[in-house]
Amino acid sequence: MSRKKHNIQRNFFDCVLERNGSVCKICRRVFKGNYLTNLKRHLIEEHKSQYESELRGLERSEPVEKKKKVSVTFGSNEVKDACVQLVTTEKMPFALLDTEPFKKLTCQIFSGLNMGPITSRNIMEHVAEKYKTVKASIIKAMTHKLISLKLDIASRHSRGILGVNAQYYEDNSIKVVTLAIIELNKKHTGANLSAEIESTFIEDFSLTKSQIYSVTSDNGGNIIKSIEILNEDSDDSADDDEEELETQVNVCSMASVKCAAHTQLVQVMLFLRRLASWLKLCGHQPTGL
């Protein structure tokens, strides 16, 4: 019997991932698993005429591509990680996980691993799980190391987003990690920013202020002020955990470093505005400046 003829039962059933089963398209009866023998028995007993008609149609149809049974080796964590990667680093929309092609490609993998399907509804649970693991490894890597932070705020349509990177030295190279990108829900004052930086990026990542060697930011008065406020509170004496670091380097305060690229940007904007004024004086009508 050809492979296509052998699998013809599947044409009468939908795969139900949630229940790891099959549902008859004619009478909607649900069967556990995808056992072809059970499905065929049901068709012969309950829907014999439709089944035979399908078989006759198949015999008349053109030969189709030969299917091949493939054997793959996966762990459920590997499959979860790949799905998380799709919607995070690969920036794919969550809806991708609900599409028919994705279900078709993954249905037998989920079933074979005895795991529930990953969909747009439950992917965030897996993202949160992965976040905890990645965060724990970052915290471990930064323990007792000098850290340079880089801060930047993007504001658009009355929403503000703060992103913070950390740099540290490890294995003869500088490592750069993104600690978090968060939405700012309070006014972007120096006091509010310093409180947010302290709770979300310093305390939450088990850093101590004496570990932070420098903070690089743009020239925004509020950001500069927030670093000043953090410094005001950072002269408290080191606790036991900090002793190892303190014996190596005595860091009195975080150096506030103004980002060269932002500084250059301001200079370029000032130059363009001066140029626009000068062109207007000369009778030209520049646009876009």
State the residues that interact with Zn ion by CB under 5 A. 24, 26-27, 29, 46
- Reading the block at residue 106, the tokens are 């993954």
Place of tokens 């323990």: 143
Nearer to Zn ion, 54 or 228 (CB): 54
Cα 182 to Cα 80: distance, rounded to the nearest angstrom? 25
- Count of other CB atoms within 10 angstroms of residue 102: 18
Please, which residue, 13 or 102, has the CB nearer to Zn ion? 13
Shortest Å distance, C-beta 19 to Zn ion: 16
Please, what is the minimum distance in Å from the beta carbon of residue 47 to Zn ion? Answer: 6
Shorter beta-carbon distance to Zn ion: residue 46 or 129: 46
Decide whether 24 or 115 has the Cβ nearer to Zn ion: 24
Shortest Å distance, C-beta 45 to Zn ion: 9
Nearest to Zn ion of 27, 154 (CB atom): 27
CB of 26 to Zn ion, least distance (A): 5
Q: Answer for the pair 22, 42: CB distance below 8 angstroms, yes or no.
A: no
Considering the complex, state which of residue 14 and residue 204 has its C-beta at the smaller distance from Zn ion: 14
Q: Decide whether 36 or 182 has the Cβ nearer to Zn ion.
A: 36
Q: How far is the CB of 42 from Zn ion (least distance, A)?
A: 6
Minimum distance, C-beta of residue 65 to Zn ion, in the bound complex (Å):
28
Cβ 178 to Zn ion shortest distance, Å? 53
